[in-house]
Each structure stands twice: as structure tokens, then as C-alpha cells.
A and B are shown apart, each in its own frame.
Chain A
Amino acid sequence: MKRNLIILAGAIVLTVAAAALLVNIFERKQEGKQAFYRVVEITDEIEDPAIWGKNFPYQYESYLKSSDMTRTKYGGSEAFPHVPTSKDPRTVTSVQKLDQDPRLRIMWNGYAFSKDFREERGHAYMLLDQELTERQEVVKQPGACLNCHASTYLLYKKLGDGDLTKGFHEMNKIPYKEVVQMAKHPVSCIDCHDAKDMSLRVTRPAFIEGIKAFKATQGITEYDVNKMASRQEMRTYVCAQCHVEYYFKGDGKTLTYPWAKGIKVENMLAYYDEIKFKDWIHKDTGANVLKAQHPEFELFSQGTHARAGVACTDCHMPYQRVGAMKVTDHWVRSPLLNINRACQTCHNVSEKELFDRATTIQDRHHKLRDTAFDALIDLINALKPYKDVDLVKNPNKDLEAARNFQRHAQFMFDFVEAENSTGFHAPQESARIFGDSIDNSRKGIMAVNRYKDSLKK
């Protein structure tokens, strides 16, 4: 009797297991057959990612994860407690980088960034964090800022009566505080995907113009990114719509990428020098200086991964397996948090080995950054006693040269400092730029000394 019961229990367990296995095989077979189900009709007018997410639940689910706060050794963010105020109701935010490295305040003295510069958080926070930064208190920002801090595709269409470029120019001019009321979402599906067939597309007029100017330097005329780029190129270009160096041109505050001479740091610096552009006059030195933004695309383009044909998406949004389906991970994050899928698809080496390689690069980069930063601060300090010297009234070649060296040293340093990879996107290029920056700081100090000597005579 007892033995019968044991056999009965065994038979029940085995039958259930066999049925569960059958159902599992059935599910996988179904997943293998059809990658997505059209639950709702998605049109070019739907901005809300939650609606797109009904048809693409796995992509949407991973997209939502960009609200997670995870950090790596040098980048990323972790929840940092924030005492809510009437102006800023956040209870958590990311760490204040100005407190971590006070040299940043000196470099940006006189500019809004010296008031607030926090660690960047995931895409989910792009709109919120820009609205609430204390920089908004210091300067009146133009609507142009919104180009990369919100889903703007429909906003362009609305402001331009269906014409994207017209809407773009309209939006740039409107004060930020006004236009931000019209923005509903951070970057979402519609900004990179065509609603018709989910293919990738570039929606930012600033990039369309920028890449056209850059391609012209390579002898390619009338480049139309949405028609001429390959799919693999698009997997970089959709990111490069925002992860670039830029400035606001003229009274229209047109968001412009300074690529007409090329996308290396000295090409962009030459561009800015030619048009005599400055972001602000440095408070400690009187130099006309520039603030580099976040030139991920430009620096990455100088690296070995770009040379090998790797796209941003390959490492930051690698394929993941969901059952029998292959899905692009829309949780955009550091590959260091996802080495298996981000790196090991190509690199047949252990996770630890890959992590150690990346860490070695970043450690060396960070050390060199410190050296270059110290050199720049030395130059700023050397220039400080002469900040009130008006070079229009009292022209002096040495002091002018010294201020110009600061402009160059500072842009080069900031270019690599502001770039989001701690040197990894192009280690040798980053080191070369730091080297050039140090050289400019050194030459600047020599020029100050010459000026100082001339005063004694």
C-alpha cells in the first residue's frame, strides 16, 4: 500500500514534469516563429513609449531600466540623498562632481557649470535632471537645450507645422523654461525608430547638418544620413545625434556641431578659433574660453572599436536572449556592467581579463587626467594677477598668447574630461590630447613668464 503511494506520487510528479516540459517546448517554438505581436497600431504621431511598449514589451521593459542607478569605478551614478527644496523636490540625485574635484570650479569659473555639475544619470533622468539643475538659476537657457533632453520629434512637427527642420529652428529660440512645458518624455522610441517598420532613423536636424558638413570634409557631397547610411552606421548615428560636441550658433541659438573641418579635437578647435566663438570670459584670467560638451561620437570615432566597424549599440545595447527571441537590450548602460554580452560576443577571453583590461586603461587615463588638470590650474594661477589687463587698450603679444594657450589647453582637457568613457573609447587619442593640453599649459606658463619679465624692464 505504502509502496503504491510512493509510485503514485512519483508518477504524478513525472507526469506534471513531462507536461511542463511540453508546454515549455511549445512556448519556445512559438517565440522562435514570431518575434513580435502587433497589439496596437503605432503611428508617427505616438510619442508615449508605453504604447510602443505594448507591441515590443521586452524592449520597453529594458528601456525602463535606465532609471536604475548603478555606477562603475569612474562613471555612472548611484542614488545620492538630496534634501528637497521648493525649487528642487528630488529626494535622491547623483553626486556633485564639483565637490569631488574642486579644480572643476576653477576651470569653469564665471560659467554656470561652476555652480552645479553632477554625475550623469541614465536616460530616464535626462529631462528631469536638466530642468532641476542649479545652472538654470544662473543663466537663461534657450530652448535649444531641449534638443537632447527630451523626446522632441513630435514637438518639432508641431512647432514647424509638420516640417521637422522648421520646428527645430522655432524650438531653439523659445526660452527653455517655456518650451520645456511642452515636452512630455525623455528620449523615447519615436526619436530613433520609424513607426512604420521600426527601422532606425535620424530625427535631429542638427545631426543631419553636422554629419553632412563632416562628410564634405571627406569629399562626400550632399550627404543625406537617412538615405545613405548603412544599418551598422545608423546603429552609431542614432546615438551621435546627441553624444557630441556642439554650440549654439547666432541669435537663433541654432544647435550646431562644429564639424566643418573634421571631428578631431584640433579640427573643432580650429573651427571655433576661425569663427572667434567663446562660451564665456574666464573670471580668473580674462581668457575667451570654451566648454567642451560630451564628444562621445567624435572620440569613439578615433578608437580601435570604431575602426573595426563596431557600433555604439553593439556594446551599450547588446543583443539579449529572451526565450527563443533575440532582442536588443534597450537598457543603455556601461558595458562594464554587462561584460558577457557586451564584450564576449567578440572577445574570447574571460570576463575578469576583459574587466581588468578596461580598468587598466581607465586607471592610466585617470592618472594622466590629473597631471593635465594640475598643469591647467597652474596656468590659470599664473595668469590670475593679470586678469584685469585689457588687451584692446594695452596690446601685448605674450599675454594674448598665454590666454590663448589657456583656451586651447582647457578645451583639450575638457574635451576628454567631459567625454563619457574615462578614455576607453580611444585610449591613445585621449592620451595624445592630454599631452597636447599639458604642452599648451606649459607654453602658456612660459608666455606668462615672458610677460612678467617685460613688466620689470
Chain B
Amino acid sequence: MNLKNAPGIVVIILIGILIGLGAYSFIYAKGYSYLSDDPKACINCHIMQANYDSWSKSGHQYVAKCNDCHLPHGNIAAKYAVKALNGFNHGWAFTFQNFHEPIQIKDLNRKVALQSCLNCHQPMVQAMDIGAHKGTEDDVKNCLHCHRGVGHGQ
């Protein structure tokens, strides 16, 4: 063994530890569950417990899971992009504990949720001309303005 190679060996060992530790953390934190549609994945980090509890008692539990309302439909790339972004933001906020409580929905996610309402309810509401106004902050013709508790209350 040549002493000149020592850093290389240490690096290899460290990378091994890193991969092992990373894989263990991933399994321990149920990281794989984020690839599924299971609503339980959303309460891995505890913040969503109240939302999960009320969802599991709401009417929507029979027809829609978290992902059905909170992720874009149709485009699989968009779906996973939003999922990854939200996952990262939530993980970051919860790890460093710097977020508003109660948590507040961001503009992108509000738009996604509104679009999701239409995804199922379009046939019913198409006469309401929501399409022209959808997703703007100050828009009163917005499903969530009146129905913000349908999926889960606070």
C-alpha cells in the first residue's frame, strides 16, 4: 500500500459510508413512499397530521387522495416536478423549523389545486366561466374561495 493513495482510499471509504448512510436514511425516513400515491406519505413529517385526519373524515376521501388535488394532472413530468419541489420545500422547512404555522399554501400550489377541482368537476361547472379567471390571487370566482374546507378542514 502506497501512502500517496491514502486520501483516495479515505474518499472511497467515505463515499461508501455516504451511500450506506444515505440509503439507510432513505429507507428509515420512508423516502420510497414519496414515489407512491399513499396519503400516509404526506404525514411522514407530522405537519400534515391534522390535514390527514380531517381528510380521512371528509367526503373527498372516497374519491381523491392528496396527490389528486395537490399535483398537476396529465403531464407526468409536471407532476413529478411539482412533487419534487414541494417535497424539497417541506423537507427543508421542517428540518430547519422556519415556517409559518399554520402553514400557508403558495401561489403555484393554489393554482394546481384549483386546476384539480376542475379536473373532476369540469362537467358540472363549465357553465360558470371559471376558466377565464382561474388561479389569480384576488379572484373571487375561485373554487377555494368558498369551498376551501372540502378536502380537509384545519
Q: A residues bordering B, Cβ < 8 Å? A: 1, 4-5, 7-8, 11-12, 14-15, 18-19, 21-22, 24-26, 28, 31-32, 319-321, 323-324, 340-341, 344-346, 348
Contact, CB under 8 Å: B10 / A18? no
- Having A22-B25, A28-B45, one finds 4 other A-B pairs with CB under 8 Å, namely A1-B7, A4-B8, A4-B11, A11-B15
CB atoms of A345 and B102 under 8 A apart:
yes
Tell me, rounded to whole Å, the shortest Cβ–Cβ distance linking A258 to chain B. 38
A11: which of B18, B25, B28, B102 is its contact (CB, 8 Å)? B18
Cα–Cα, bound, A19→B21 (Å): 7
Closest to B97 in A: A323
**Tally of B interface residues using CB under 8 Å:** 26
Contacts of A14 in B (CB 8 A): 18
Contact A18 B25 (CB under 8 A): yes
A12 with B14: CB separation less than 8 A: yes
Known: A11-B14, A28-B45, A340-B100. A22 touches B21 (CB 8 A): yes
Contacts of B21 in A (CB 8 A): 15, 18-19, 22
Q: A11-B15, A14-B18, A22-B21 are in contact. Are A28 and B46 (CB under 8 A)?
A: yes
The prevalent SS among residues of A at the interface is: helix
Residue B131 is within 8 A (CB to CB) of chain A in the complex: no
- Which residue from chain A places its CB closest to the CB of B144 in the assembled complex? A348
On chain B, the residues within 8 Å of A324 by CB distance are 45-46
- A15–chain B nearest beta-carbon distance, Å: 5
Q: Shortest beta-carbon distance, B1 to chain A, in Å?
A: 16
CB contact under 8 A between A346 and B18, given known A25-B25, A32-B46: no
B104 contacts A11, CB within 8 Å?
no
- Residues of chain B within 8 A (CB-CB) of A346 are 154
Known contacts A15-B21, A18-B21, A18-B25; is-contact A8 B104 (Cβ 8 Å) = no
**Residues of the A chain whose Cβ atoms lie less than 8 Å from the Cβ of B101:** 319-321, 340-341
Task: Please determine whether A21 and B95 come into contact, CB atoms closer than 8 angstroms.
Answer: yes
**Cβ of B14: which chain A residues have Cβ within 8 Å of it?**
8, 11-12, 15
> Which residues of B approach A to under 8 Å, CB–CB?
7-8, 10-11, 14-15, 17-18, 21-22, 24-25, 28-29, 45-47, 94-95, 97, 100-102, 104, 148, 154
Residues of A within 8 A of B28 (CB): 22, 25-26
Which of B11, B15, B22, B94 has a CB less than 8 Å from the CB of A28? B94
Contact yes or no, A25 B8, CB < 8 A = no
Contacts of A12 in B (CB 8 A): 14
- CA of A281 to CA of B108 in the docked complex: distance in angstroms? 66
Which residues from B are CB-within-8-Å of A320?
101
10 A-B residue contacts at CB 8 Å? A7-B11, A8-B7, A11-B11, A15-B21, A24-B95, A26-B28, A31-B46, A323-B97, A340-B100, A346-B154
Shortest CB distance A340–B (Å):
5
Cα distance A348–B104 in the bound complex, in angstroms = 9
Residues of B within 8 A of A4 (CB): 7-8, 11
Q: What is the bound-complex CA distance between A348 and B144, given in angstroms?
A: 11
Residue among A8, A19, A340 making CB contact with B10, cutoff 8 Å: A8
CA distance A15 to B24 in the complex (A): 12
CA gap between A340 and B101 in the complex, in Å: 7
What is the bound-complex CA distance between A14 and B104, given in angstroms?
31
Which residue on chain B has the smallest CB distance to residue A32? B46
Report the 10 A-B pairs with minimum CB-CB distance, sorted nearest first.
Answer: A324-B46, A11-B14, A22-B25, A18-B21, A4-B7, A15-B18, A25-B29, A32-B46, A321-B101, A8-B11
Residue of A15, A26, A321, A348 touching B148 (CB-CB under 8 A): A348
Q: How far is B97's CA from A346's CA once the two chains are assembled, in angstroms?
A: 22
Report chain A residues within 8 Å CB of B102. Answer: 340-341, 344-345
Q: Give Cα distance in the complex from A345 to B102, angstroms.
A: 6
Residue of B nearest to A18 (CB): B21
CB-nearest residue of chain B relative to A12? B14
Which of A11, A24, A345 has the most C-beta atoms of chain B within 10 angstroms of its own C-beta?
A11
Who on chain B is nearest to A22 by CB? B25
Nearest CB in chain A to that of B91: its residue: A21
Of B22, B28, B100, the most chain A CB neighbours within 10 A belong to B22
Task: Kindly state the separation between the CA atoms of A341 and B100 in the bound complex, as whole angstroms.
Answer: 8
Q: Which residues of B contact A1 (CB under 8 A)?
A: 7
